[in-house]
Structure 1
């Protein structure tokens, strides 16, 4: 009898915990479902106002001061002096998206960067424990989902335990992306989360929208069922005195 009584109390306690936790956790789950379905329905270009606001850089005016060695100022949107691989360079960007690096004094073309310069950039960018550079290769095509350009780019792989890789723009010397085995695991899980198993960047697929709507219906119906499980307060019937 004592064992049965203990099991009964344990069952009642577990039922109460399940019921109340279902309310608190269920509210957040319902919000996840509703907001997830809403984000899947919205067009990301409209969210960013890309359909009405141009982000194209403004071309420098014709009378802007240009270096004497610049062969053509047509379409130039920016001139900047910065450090690449431990040396000062002048970066020239044009409205067609092209980027070239030149010597600030002579104007000698420095890009595309050689492997030695890319390795120097990678060494400077590394802030982890001491390591070496395992491999260096020039890539001109997408590397799965972890890097999609611009090309050409240098892929520098470090000799650390996480197999960290950096992608360096061969034209500008900029570090475009840093990837690792941990990133690959996250990328795989992210693809499962947003139900995009190939591109990993589509958050408004019909699959995700349908499952988001379905999850919302399940969550709402669960609240209805949960409400029906609550003990009803029985009101005492009011006795009406008989008329004389």
Structure 2
């Protein structure tokens, strides 16, 4: 039968093309379901945030800060941090600017000792911390831009805290578990650059090819089952005649 022959050829050759990627999809699915997302995010390594008193009487009014800095924010947030109250001003179409809410100026630079103290205060566990490193540009894995402090811990997951150089807050957490998970995630969606694009042509094309394997597989199954049923009926009919 031509349909059977063509379906078999299509199924076989496309299977060779997409088989490896299907293996990656399945392996990635196993990894993403087997590892709790809380562990991937190192939530078990971060202490619950302690409430920070906000000395309202010392905070400069937003209007004064805007006038002093010349920043016209589309959004403004006043928050307490371990280094004191902070105004976070976000201009329209620009990056947020964090300022000391008591002075209206950027926070003073932190030294390594202060960074270590803040990181250890936020860390849940008994592992020691390695010396902090100030990076001029945040790594891609943080999803951030600009300078950032990195503190590595000597625990089983090789946890890393990234701290804001302004407020000392832990803004991103990473670990060997996260990097292992991220590797399979990128294999899963075939975006090795940013790891967030679900709609690129390679992924769409392979998905269509995989769908064609499923369709041709059902065609082959239907044809083979129909043929087997016909053969079974013929055998039963022959036995009745012989009996």
Calculate the TM-score normalised by the size of structure 1: 0.58
Q: How does 1:134-149 map to 2 (within 5 A)?
A: 134-143=130-139, 145-149=140-144
- CA–CA separation in structure 2 for the residues paired with 1:73 and 1:188: 43
Query: What do you get for the CA RMSD once the two structures are aligned?
Result: 3.2
- CA–CA separation in structure 2 for the residues paired with 1:112 and 1:209: 47
The residue number in structure 2 matching 1:38 is: none
Query: Is structure 2 residue 164 aligned with structure 1 residue 166?
Result: no
Query: Is structure 2 residue 68 aligned with structure 1 residue 66?
Result: no
Q: Relative contact order: is structure 1 or structure 2 higher (C-alpha 8 Å, sep ≥ 6)?
A: 2
More helix by share: 2
The residue number in structure 2 matching 1:76 is: 73
Question: 1:134–1:209: structure 2 CA closer, same or farther, 3 Å change rule?
Answer: same
Q: How does 1:210-229 map to 2 (within 5 A)?
A: 210-229=205-224
Cα shift at 1:65? 5.5
Cα shift at 1:172? 4.5
Instruction: Give the conservation status (yes or no) of the 8 Å contact 1:154–1:169.
Output: yes
Query: Is structure 2 residue 116 aligned with structure 1 residue 119?
Result: yes
Question: 1:211–1:99: structure 2 CA closer, same or farther, 3 Å change rule?
Answer: same
Cα shift at 1:108? 5.5
Give deviations 1:71-93, integer Å, cap 9, x for gaps.
23541344444332x34312231
Gaps of 5+ in 1: 1-28, 33-63, 238-244
Query: Which of 129, 139, 153 is residue 125 of structure 2 equivalent to?
Result: 129
Instruction: Give the conservation status (yes or no) of the 8 Å contact 1:151–1:169.
Output: no
The residue number in structure 1 matching 2:3 is: none
The residue number in structure 1 matching 2:198 is: 203
- CA–CA separation in structure 1 for the residues paired with 2:65 and 2:188: 54
The residue number in structure 2 matching 1:39 is: none
- Could you tell which deviates more after superposition, 187-196 or 206-215? 187-196
Instruction: Give the conservation status (yes or no) of the 8 Å contact 1:141–1:148.
Output: no
The residue number in structure 2 matching 1:94 is: 90
Q: What secondary structure, in the 3-state scheme, does the structure 1 residue paired with 2:210 have?
A: helix
Gaps of 5+ in 2: 1-21, 26-60, 238-243
- CA–CA separation in structure 2 for the residues paired with 1:65 and 1:179: 34
- CA–CA separation in structure 2 for the residues paired with 1:205 and 1:111: 44
Cα shift at 1:111? 4.7
Instruction: Give the conservation status (yes or no) of the 8 Å contact 2:78–2:85.
Output: yes
